[in-house]
Structure 1
Amino acid sequence: MRGSVLTGLCVAAVVLCVYLPQPCEAQWQALVGPLIEKVSGLWHNDTVDFMGRECKFRRSPKIKRWELYHEGKFWCPGWAPFSGNSSKRSRSGSLEEATRDFVRQAFEKGLITEADAKLWLKI
């Protein structure tokens, strides 16, 4: 008896939801545009002049433990065979940390001077 009552209530609720006019009817298009802009803004690729060389950076979202993180990558094709990487909660912080990681590696491998590294690493 209880199962049939519960089933009847569920069917009635679905019928009401389908046939009653919705307050947001035909307004979904106004929500989709800004939502797509917000989501697509999480990815970013660009080039930048870095110490006289053309370098690239990329930021992309990743979910870790139900939290949004931004993974950053900074590399200079044709100059350095490595890349700087980071994973931060902050969008700008991820690119900044990836650049610092790149500078650390470039200094360790002798591609840049200590003076140049100090500007970026704040040693």
Structure 2
Amino acid sequence: MASASPSGKSGVSGTPHLLQLVFVGVVLLLVFPTPTPATPIDLTSVISLLADNVIDRLFSEGQMTLLGHRCTYKKQPRIYSWQLQYQAEVFCPGWTSLNGKSGRYLSSNTALREATKNLMKQAVDKGLVTKEEAGEWL
């Protein structure tokens, strides 16, 4: 009595698939040879580059004009209660010795806006400008 496989075919059915897989593997090794070792990555320079980029983005200094006067601003991050917050400072050395400061804000732009507002309030209080002139920033 001859034995038959459940599919009705005799022989081992997995062998052709195994041969095809081996053939494809050999072809891939011939077409794509193993890469030569590259120069190792200098982790210190990568970390330094990333840190410089982050610091440049977080700390910001610049110039702006307030009521025709050239002013300087500084924005800097601080960590409070495990949260990144910003403080800002605005001063106009050629115009006044007043210094506008802001508290802690989640946005660096909000911190700058509040520091500018603080400077303008001080300027109005000192009589350097009128409320109408400073109205845009108050």
**What are the superposed Cα offsets for residues 72-100 of structure 1, whole Å, 9 maximum, x if unpaired?**
00011132222110121111111111000
2-structure distance, mates of 1:57, 1:109 = 21
- Please state if 1:73 is matched with 2:92: no
Gaps of 5+ in 1: 1-24
**How far apart are residue 36 of structure 1 and its match?**
3.0
Q: Structure 1 or 2: larger strand share?
A: 1
Highest Rg: 1 or 2? 2
User: Could you tell me which residue of structure 2 aligns to residue 56 of structure 1?
Assistant: 72
Q: More helix per residue: 1 or 2?
A: 1
Instruction: Note if 1:93 corresponds to 2:96.
Output: no
* Aligned counterparts, 1:33-44, within 5 A: 33-44=49-60
The equivalent of 2:130 in structure 1 is: 113
For residues 136 and 52 of structure 2, the distance between their equivalents in structure 1, rounded to whole angstroms, comes to 38
Structure 1: how far apart are the matches of 2:41 and 2:97? Answer: 53
**Could you list the runs of 4 or more consecutive aligned residues of structure 1 that deviate by over 2 angstroms after TM superposition?**
25-36
Amino acid at match of 1:112: V
Contact 2:70 2:94 (8 Å CA) reproduced = no
Write the distance in 1 (CA, Å) between the matches of 2:90 and 2:124: 15
Structure 2: tracts of 5 or more residues without a match:
1-39
Identity rate of aligned residues, in percent? 28
TM-score by length of 1: 0.69
Root-mean-square deviation (CA, aligned residues, Å) is 1.9
TM-score normalised according to structure 2 size: 0.62
